[in-house]
Structure 1
Amino acid sequence: MGATTIGMMDAAYFVGRNEILSWVNSTLELSLCKVEEAASGAVYCQLMDVVHPGMVSMHKVSFDAKSEYEMIQNYKVLQDVFNKLKIGRHIEVSKLVKGRPLDNLEFLQWMKRYCDQINNNHVNPTYNAAERRETCKGGKEMNRRALGTSSSSNNSQVSAKSASTVGAKANGGGARRVTENTNPNVNGGGRGGGVVGGGLSAARHMKDGMEQVSGVNEDHVKQITELKLSVESLEKERDFYFTKLRDIEILCQAPELSYIPVVKAVQRILYAAEDDPSVIAEAKAMVEGESSLGILSPGSQYLDDNQDLLG
């Protein structure tokens, strides 16, 4: 199945925000923190440039787009690429430029599926994302921000490693001083042996305790990640079925259909305030009552009119 024809319940739409952001940042050498940062359309244009080099007019793309008018210009470039490649995916520009997370997440999920399909799940090794962005308006500033974020992250890691090294050296020095100032025997007896043996035993217990805490923290992080993915999937499924119910509601409100008994029964179920079994019974009674009057019987004028409308 092509990426342009995948359904809303396809696995592509259950990829979480974190995985999507990680994919975008690694592919385009960016440092996005939220999916709505792609709302300007520039990110979408460059993702298409990755899989179809030279097809996107990158000099027309603006990474500095702030107003909806500027963002729409980016989407015009994207739509032009879609037209050239005969991609049937509809771009809901009016929703994407609003910067709503769900709309942009959905489009990024589709983009990932499309790019994976074209590249066979491999990143183009010859593509220089930062260099291509240089030709865009605001591209140089975007590169500086991405580089600054990366440098800041690296500095934090270096600082943490340095602090860890200093601590380890301090602990090592303390251990050596204790050893030098004591007079342990082979069996660990005597005053000196007791101090050293006790110190080593305490160190071992502390090490074991730290390993246990580290293992618990990793388990918690894993559980939290799994819960977040589960919540995102449930939210996606909820929104999908809500949209379906809303479409049914709009159809039932059409003047030419609102008097049909079946439509009235459906509305009774839709507008029920509580999950009460009696609602279903009432809806059935509404349909059966009209049917007993011949309104829905074969050959009736009402049935013929309904069939014409539905036809």
Structure 2
Amino acid sequence: MGATTIGMMDAAYFVGRNEILSWVNSTLELSLSKVEEAASGAVYCQLMDVVHPGMVSMHKVSFDAKSEYEMIQNYKVLQDVFNKLKIGRHIEVSKLVKGRPLDNLEFLQWMKRYCDQINNNHVNPTYNAAERRESCKGGKETNRRVVGMSSSGQSSVKSASNANVKTSSGAARRVTTDNSTPNMNGSGRSGGSSEAHVNVTKHTKEQASASIEDHVKQITELKLSVSNLEKERDFYFTKLRDIEILCQAQELSHIPVVKAVQRILYAAEDESSVIAEAQAMMEELDRDILSPGSQNMDDDSKDLLE
């Protein structure tokens, strides 16, 4: 089944946000932190440029698009590519430009499935994403911003590492100083303090050990719970996938009941009226079957046969 015709219950739509963002950032050399940052359409255009080099008019793409009008221009470029490649996927521009996370996540999930199919799950090693963005409006600024964020991240890591080293060194010096301080009063309190310190340390270790055991037990229980949930999810997903395949059969696709089931399967998450619409489809079928006109038509058909 091609990526342009995958159903909403396909495994492609179960890819998480973190995996999607990691894939986009590694493929396009970007630093997106949210899926809605792709709402301008520029990211979608460049993803198509990765799998179909030269097909996208990158000089018409704007990575600096802020207004809906500028974003729509990017989607016009994307739609033009879809038309050239005869891709039947509908682009819901009015929803995507609003920056809603769910809509952009779904479209990115589809994009990943399409790109994986075209490239056989391999990234084009000769594609230079930063260089290709140079010809786009705002592309150079985007590249500088990505480089700046990368440098800032490395500096933060180095600073944190140096701070940890200094803290550890200071603690070590304090411990050394405390341990090397001689007992000046000669009253034998040093031995008593050491024994008390050993007892406290032993008690603390026992508490820590018990706490670790509790955490390990909780983690094990959570892992078992997650495993059971994943099995249950896969079970119901398989059932729904079987139903979807059955409903796509040519000999059944025209039946109203099948259409009602498909309406429920392909409904978006925020469509609260889908059940009512499916019921209305079935009630309309019942009215057509029981209407007097249908009975008269049957009688006429009988007369013609006689």
| Class of the TM-score when normalised by the shorter of the 2 chains | 0.5 to 0.7
1:301 maps to 296
Q: For residues 184-231 of structure 1, give each alpha carbon's deviation from its aligned partner in whole angstroms, at most 9, with x where no partner exists.
A: xxxxx9936963993797499579949x68x96996xx98xx8xx99x
Take 2:138 and 2:39, find their aligned partners in 1: how far apart are those partners? 15
Contact 1:296 1:302 in 2 (8 A): no
Is 2:72 aligned against 1:76? no
Distance across 1 between alignment mates of 2:172 and 2:82: 63
Q: CA deviation at 1:174?
A: 2.1
Show the counterpart of 1:129.
129
Q: Is 2:267–2:274's contact at 8 Å kept on the other side of the alignment?
A: no
* Per-residue deviation, residues 259-310 of structure 1 (Å, max 9, x unmatched): x7x369xxxxxxxxxxxxxxxxxxxxxxxxxx9xxx46997238899xxxxx
Matched residues in 2 for 1:53 and 1:31: separation? Answer: 22
What amino acid is aligned across from residue 239 of structure 1 in structure 2? E
From the superposition, tell whether residues 84 and 216 of structure 1 become closer, same or farther in structure 2 (CA, over 3 Å).
farther
Match of 1:115 in 2: 115
CA distance in 2 between partners of 1:63 and 1:43 (Å): 8
Identity of aligned residues (%): 62
Residues 242/16 of structure 1: CA separation in 2 closer, same or farther (3 Å cut): farther
Query: CA-to-partner distance for each residue in 1:45-98, whole Å, 9 max, x for gaps?
Result: 011111222221111110111222221221121122222222221212222222
Query: Structure 2 vs 1, CA of residues 180 and 35 (structure 1 numbering), >3 Å: closer, same or farther?
Result: same
Q: 1:86 — aligned with what?
A: 86
Deviation at 1:39?
1.2
Instruction: Say if 2:197 is the partner of 1:198.
Output: yes
Q: Sort the Cα spacing of 1:121 and 1:299 in 2 relative to 1 into closer, same or farther, 3 A.
A: closer
Task: Give the TM-score taking structure 1 as reference length.
Answer: 0.66
Q: How do 1:177-192 and structure 2 match up within 5 A?
A: 177-181=177-181, 191=190
CA deviations over 1:14-71 (Å, ceiling 9, x no partner): 2222222222122212222222211111000011111222221111110111222221
RMSD: 4.4
Residue range with higher mean Cα deviation, 167-176 or 151-160 = 151-160
In the TM superposition, 1:105-184 aligns within 5 A as 105-181=105-181
Could you say which residue in structure 2 is the equivalent of 1:45?
45
Q: Secondary structure at the match of 2:72?
A: helix
Q: Distance in 1 between matches of 2:206 and 2:161?
A: 18
- Per the alignment, in what secondary structure is the counterpart of residue 149 of structure 1? helix
Name the aligned partner's letter for residue 153 of structure 2: S
In the alignment, the residues of structure 2 paired with residue 125 and residue 199 of structure 1 have an alpha-carbon distance, to the nearest angstrom, of 60
Instruction: Say whether the 8 Å CA contact 1:8–1:240 is kept in structure 2.
Output: no
Alpha-carbon distance between aligned partners in 1 of 2:273 and 2:28, rounded to the nearest angstrom:
33
What is the TM-score with the length of structure 2 in the denominator? 0.67
**What is the CA deviation profile of residues 132-158 of structure 1, one whole-angstrom value per residue up to 9, with x for unaligned ones?**
111100111112222232233222222
Q: 1:303 to 1:200 in 2, by over 3 A?
A: farther
Matched letter for residue 135 of structure 2: T
Equivalent residue, structure 1, for 2:17: 17
Letter in 1 for 2:295: S
Count of matched residue pairs: 256
In structure 2, relative to structure 1, the CA distance for the partners of 1:70 and 1:207 (3 Å cut) is: farther
129-138 vs 173-182, which moves further = 173-182
Query: Is the Cα–Cα contact under 8 Å of residues 297 and 303 in structure 1 kept in the other structure?
Result: no
